């Protein structure tokens, strides 16, 4: 432990020298919470240098509050030691001469950290001889509402930006190109490379497809993509929403995870067609087998809000069963093969509200479990992925929390401390959401019953 601290201190000292040469004046040092929100301290470079030379801490309440910042943990609430990940450094395009640097707890709260959870799965992949590459897609809705108008309207009766948009419309891309271009340029300046960004299905809907990167950087990219997109829109008195479904009249918003494995020694892809030309490589088949098998028990990790389950209803493309297929966009896992070096799996369950670190930890963890145990996948879906023979997924956050809480595999992959904490936090989130009664329910029942 002492040697690790000395190495980290030496790395931070080198980072400080590098930032001085670059003329950086401000460091935004932060940690990601359970919702994937970046919680930071804004420090002048001199202050960061002093902090880096000492033993920096961050209040551990970060993993003991809910989505509304209401504390549900029992404490004690103290400053726990943190370590900065020097490989996470990236420019902050929202403020001149500033950078973002990701840190995480190194004490007891590390066991509760989504980013640390993902790092553990990346280490498992390495021990098995694989490097993991990943990329996220995000559908999101832009609302023609400011922070003030949202609250003045009580978050109801909201107006969509680009109300005339239709799916993949070239006209909409031309009309609203200034905003799209600003989002694109901002993400590029923050080293969040995009494969594509454009209009999607319905009023205000866009889709961002991120470029494939090593797994940890891919999750960081996804988290910063959401934050910076929201920031660009808010500066224009707009609101970028990543809620899985925003409302009955709006499309459900997804965030598929694309993932592939590479042989660490040769760099060759592990996913694709078997050499015989029929079926998949053993690594890909077993990875899919593990993910399909464990998905009903682990889905809370990629669908961690009560709202996420409102997307999994008839009439929506969102998968609702544990199944896989080749080139079927309605299956939970889509095997993309015969794409050369881009052969991969696409995990289509996560909604746009997903925490990228948890979603990727689930995907990688369950898939590696399949490889370790040589789990054969069920037959691929040929017709209806929603058919009764496919294992159903939990329909509520509470049910999903119960499933992961009782899973021995989940505890083996992610640890008892995280599973106990995560399940309790998700039950609390579900309970709080169930207390609220919607206008739809009042209209449906107030006079009838």
What ranges do the domains of the chain cover?
2-112, 121-445
Whole-number pLDDT of residue 252: 80
Flag whether pLDDT at 151 surpasses 60.
yes
Least confident of 46-60, 65-79, 424-438: 65-79
Flag whether pLDDT at 251 surpasses 90.
no
Mean pLDDT of the chain: 93
Flag whether pLDDT at 18 surpasses 90.
yes
* Percent of the chain clearing pLDDT 70 (strictly above): 96
What would the pLDDT profile of 340-385 be if each residue is shown by its tens digit? 889 999 999 999 999 999 999 999 999 999 999 999 999 998 877 7
What would the pLDDT profile of 226-249 be if each residue is shown by its tens digit? 999 999 999 999 999 999 988 776
Flag whether pLDDT at 10 surpasses 80.
no
Least confident of 5-14, 21-30, 87-96, 232-241: 5-14
Q: Tell me how crowded residue 327 is: count the other CB atoms within 10 A of its CB.
A: 12
Whole-number pLDDT of residue 249: 66
User: Three-class SS string for the chain?
Assistant: CHHHHHHHHHHHHHHHHHHHHHCCCEEEEEEECCCCCEEEEEEEHHHHHHHHHCCCEEEHHHHCECCCCCECCCCCCCEEEEEECHHHCEECCCCCCEEEEEEEECCHHHHHCHHHHHHHHHHHHHHCCEEEEEEEEEEEEEECCCHHHHHHCCCCCCCECCCCCCCCCHHHHHHCHHHHHHHHHHHHHCCCCEEEEEECCCCCEEEEEECCEEHHHHHHHHHHHHHHHHHHHHHCCCEEECCCECCCCCCECECCEEEEEEECCCCCECCCECCCCCCECHHHHHHHHHHHHHHHHHHHHCCCCCHHHHCCCCCCCCCCECCEEECCCCCCEEEECCCHHHCEEEECCCECCCCHHHHHHHHHHHHHHHHHCCCCCCCCCCCCCCCCCCCECCCCHHHHHHHHHCCHHHHHHHCHHHHHHHHHHHHHHHHHHHCCCCHHHHHHHCCCC
pLDDT, average across residues 16-37: 96
Q: What fold, for 2-112?
A: Ubiquitin-like (UB roll) (3.10.20)
Whole-number pLDDT of residue 203: 92
Helices 356-372 & 282-298 angle (0-180, nearest 10): 120
Whole-number pLDDT of residue 1: 45
Flag whether pLDDT at 277 surpasses 70.
no
| CATH among 3.40.50.150, 3.30.590.10, 3.40.190.10, 3.90.420.10 for 121-445 | 3.30.590.10
Whole-number pLDDT of residue 279: 87
Flag whether pLDDT at 7 surpasses 60.
no
Whole-number pLDDT of residue 75: 78
Of residues 258, 259, 197, 254, the one with CA closest to residue 228: 197
pLDDT, average across residues 424-443: 91
Least confident of 172-176, 326-330, 429-433: 326-330
Least confident of 175-179, 262-266, 329-333: 329-333
C-alpha 407: how far from its chain's center? Answer: 22
Flag whether pLDDT at 388 surpasses 70.
no
What would the pLDDT profile of 74-128 be if each residue is shown by its tens digit? 878 999 999 999 999 999 999 999 999 999 999 999 999 999 999 999 999 999 9
């Amino acid at each position: 432990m002492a040697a690790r601290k000395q190495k980290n201190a030496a790395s931070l000292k080198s980072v400080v020298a590098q930032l001085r040469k670059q003329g950086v004046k401000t460091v935004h040092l932060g940690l990601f919470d359970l919702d994937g929100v970046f919680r930071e301290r804004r420090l002048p470079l001199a202050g960061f240098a002093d902090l880096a030379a000492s033993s920096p801490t961050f209040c551990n309440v970060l993993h003991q509050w809910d989505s509304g910042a209401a504390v549900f943990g029992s404490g004690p609430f103290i400053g726990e030691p943190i370590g900065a990940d020097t490989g996470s450094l990236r420019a902050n395009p929202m403020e001149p001469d500033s950078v973002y640097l990701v840190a995480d707890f190194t004490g007891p709260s590390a066991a509760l950290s989504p980013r640390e959870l993902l790092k553990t799965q990346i280490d498992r992949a390495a021990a098995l001889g694989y490097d993991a590459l990943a990329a996220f897609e995000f559908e999101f809705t832009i609302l023609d509402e400011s922070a003030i108008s949202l609250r003045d309207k009580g978050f109801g009766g909201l107006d969509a930006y680009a109300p005339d948009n239709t799916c993949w419309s070239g006209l909409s891309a031309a009309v609203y190109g200034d905003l799209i271009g600003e989002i694109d340029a901002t993400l590029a300046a923050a080293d969040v490379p995009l494969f594509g960004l454009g209009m999607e299905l319905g009023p205000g809907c866009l889709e961002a497809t991120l470029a494939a990167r090593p797994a940890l950087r891919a999750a960081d990219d996804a988290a910063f993509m959401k934050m910076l997109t929201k920031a660009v829109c808010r500066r224009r008195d707009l609101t970028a929403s990543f809620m899985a479904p925003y409302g009955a009249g709006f499309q459900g918003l997804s965030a598929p995870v694309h993932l592939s494995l590479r042989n660490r020694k040769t760099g060759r892809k592990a996913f694709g067609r078997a050499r015989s030309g029929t079926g998949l490589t053993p690594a890909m088949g077993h990875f899919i087998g593990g993910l399909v098998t464990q998905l009903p028990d682990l889905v809370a990790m990629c669908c961690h809000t009560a709202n996420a389950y409102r997307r999994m209803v008839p009439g929506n493309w969102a998968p609702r069963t544990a199944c896989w297929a080749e080139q079927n966009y309605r299956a939970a896992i889509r095997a993309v093969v015969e794409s050369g070096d881009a052969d991969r799996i696409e995990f289509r369950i996560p909604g746009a509200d997903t925490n990228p670190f948890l979603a990727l930890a689930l995907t990688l963890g369950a898939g590696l479990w399949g490889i370790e145990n040589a789990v054969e996948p069920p037959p691929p879906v040929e017709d209806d992925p929603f058919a009764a023979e496919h294992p159903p997924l939990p329909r509520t956050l509470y049910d999903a929390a119960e499933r992961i809480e009782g899973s021995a595999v989940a505890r083996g992959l992610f640890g008892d401390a995280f599973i106990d904490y995560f399940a309790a936090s998700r039950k609390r989130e579900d309970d709080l959401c169930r207390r609220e009664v919607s206008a739809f329910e009042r209209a449906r029942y107030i006079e009838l019953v």
